[in-house]
Chains A and B, each alone.
Chain A
Amino acid sequence: MPRETFQKELDRLVEDVVELGREVETCLVTMVEALQAQDAEIAKKQIGVDSRYKERGTEIDEECMVLQARQAPVARDLRLIYTVQVVTNHLVRSGTLCEHICHAVAETAESDRDPDLAATLSEMARAANGLFREGLDVFEQRDIDRARDLEAADDKVDLLYSEAMNLIVNPGKEGGGAPEWRTRAALIVHYLERIADHGVDVGGRTVFLVTGERMESAMRQYRDRRVDLDED
């Protein structure tokens, strides 16, 4: 098949993105662990990772620019390079948010916590981490059937977000933990919601990569087809 060299370069580009994604995923797993255990030592391990992710992100971006300049990609090649650039941005941003959360955990490890809010945060962290991993899997395997489940899973994160915010604004009788911890909790809730959104977007971009259609439009067609099948 012609353009073998170009195809190899594209394959390597995707490998680089997935490798970066898996690194960020590892960071997220550690973050969940630190958050659940309120362990400053575990959290501190992840401080500083952000600059490495950004550096990798810049390198991938440059690879994309060179490929566009030299290979004049169109159609699926163009969609791939475009998707790689956007997905890389989502991965790097998730890594940055992960580091922010680890900072917050490390700074408030000794503070009193509200057990209900802490439990909601932990559950939300696990859900956000799951969505991120799922989005990355969808991208790696180009499995757009799984992409449609991402939005439903994100609804769960949004519910947890509301629940956590409610607990922050209306602390229980025990007082809702130390003020400095509660302030950080509000930030963590927001960061986790963003990480989950990044996971959903990575899946959505994969739908575009495979079908050439935006996630919303592709999903609408999918649902319409399901309705037709059910009616038959």
Chain B
Amino acid sequence: MDHRETKEEGLSLSGISGERPSEERPEARERQEARASSKQDAVLGMKIENLSAFYGSFKAVTDVSMDIQANKVTALIGPSGCGKSTYIRCLNRMHEVIPGAYAEGGVKLGDQDIYAKNTDPVTIRRRIGMVFQKPNPFSKSIYENVAWGARINGYKGDMDELVERSLKRAALWDEVKDKLKKSGFDLSGGQQQRLVIARTLAVEPEVILMDEPASALDPVSTQKIEDTMADLKKRYTVVIVTHNMQQAARISDYTGFFYIEHMGDPGRLWEFDETDKIFSSPERKETEDYVTGRFG
């Protein structure tokens, strides 16, 4: 199956879709309200089968199959250029927003095929949010950064409560509660990244994808993001791409190692196992060489 996006769409940052007015999406609103009232909804995992990703004729990732467990942190590691970021972008249909880029294979969120013809990619990106390497707050107040996505998604509940709850879950509330009207840009890099996480949480996603969320941050901010993730997995399914292997070892439950065997080949999922196993006695030599730093 070839999953090329047929509609013209812009980037959907952090799972927030600014393209459609809320009244067109009553089911999203109902779902969101239901989730807000019932915080213990069953969290969904993802099932990926034989996924390959292309940029035009270039195959960047080939034949990845992986079960992403609900309420767990799954880390993706591997050398640069082996397809980790491309792969993670396929998980919420963000890969296809690049002209000529498309994916083949199956990706399911729970039982739902996210690449099915009748599936709206914008809805998928809200249910599967993404946080990027560089914090990207909007040029709005801290409060509006968090509230905006929920509002345009038709959230009708108590917005103050939603903003506070989201900021608390992102472990930022105590640092910003007295300056919610200030610009998001007034915050430090680490705080901005947690603001982006809060913004992602405000639209009540089920899965959070993070592409090197702490690589531009200082150690203290990194530690706060890591602590945040330990809390997040209680309510969400988390997938993180990281170049910091110790970070993967510290925070994840499962680790996938991506690898390119020969120059020019597409990236593959070389080994996927519990993090304890990957960092104590991985099955494959290449994985062991990589995690022990004997690679290259």
A, B bound? yes
Measured CB to CB, the residues of A under 8 A from B are 1-3, 6-7, 72-79, 211-213
A213 and B281 within 8 A (CB):
yes
B246 and A76 within 8 A (CB):
no
Q: Is B189 an interface residue (CB 8 A)?
A: no
B295 and A2 within 8 A (CB):
yes
B292 and A77 within 8 A (CB):
yes
Task: Choose among B249, B280, B295 the residue that contacts A79 (Cβ–Cβ < 8 A).
Answer: B280
30 contacts between A and B (CB under 8 A): A2-B294, A2-B295, A2-B296, A3-B292, A3-B294, A6-B293, A7-B294, A72-B246, A73-B292, A74-B245, A74-B249, A74-B279, A74-B280, A74-B291, A74-B292, A75-B279, A75-B280, A75-B281, A75-B282, A75-B287, A75-B288, A75-B291, A75-B292, A76-B288, A76-B292, A78-B280, A79-B281, A212-B280, A212-B281, A213-B281
Interface size in chain B (residues, C-beta < 8 A): 16
Interface string of B269-296 (1 = CB under 8 A from A): 0000000001111100001100111111
Number of residue pairs spanning A and B whose beta carbons lie under 8 angstroms apart: 39
User: Chain B contact residues: over half helix, strand or loop, or mixed?
Assistant: loop
Residues of B within 8 A of A7 (CB): 294
A75 and B292 CA atoms in complex are apart in Å by 7
Determine how close the nearest CB of chain B comes to the CB of A156; give it in whole angstroms. Answer: 32
Residues of A within 8 A of B245 (CB): 74
A228 and B246 CA atoms in complex are apart in Å by 40
Beyond A75-B288, A76-B288, is A3–B281 a contact (Cβ under 8 Å)? Answer: no
Query: Which residue of A is nearest B288, CB measured?
Result: A75
A6 and B294 CA atoms in complex are apart in Å by 10
Determine how close the nearest CB of chain A comes to the CB of B250; give it in whole angstroms. Answer: 10
A104 and B280 CA atoms in complex are apart in Å by 43
A77 and B282 CA atoms in complex are apart in Å by 12
A3 and B287 CA atoms in complex are apart in Å by 16
Query: Which residue of A is nearest B282, CB measured?
Result: A75
Given A72-B246, A78-B279, 14 more pairs with CB closer than 8 A? A2-B294, A2-B295, A2-B296, A3-B293, A7-B294, A74-B291, A75-B278, A75-B280, A75-B288, A75-B291, A76-B288, A79-B280, A211-B281, A212-B281
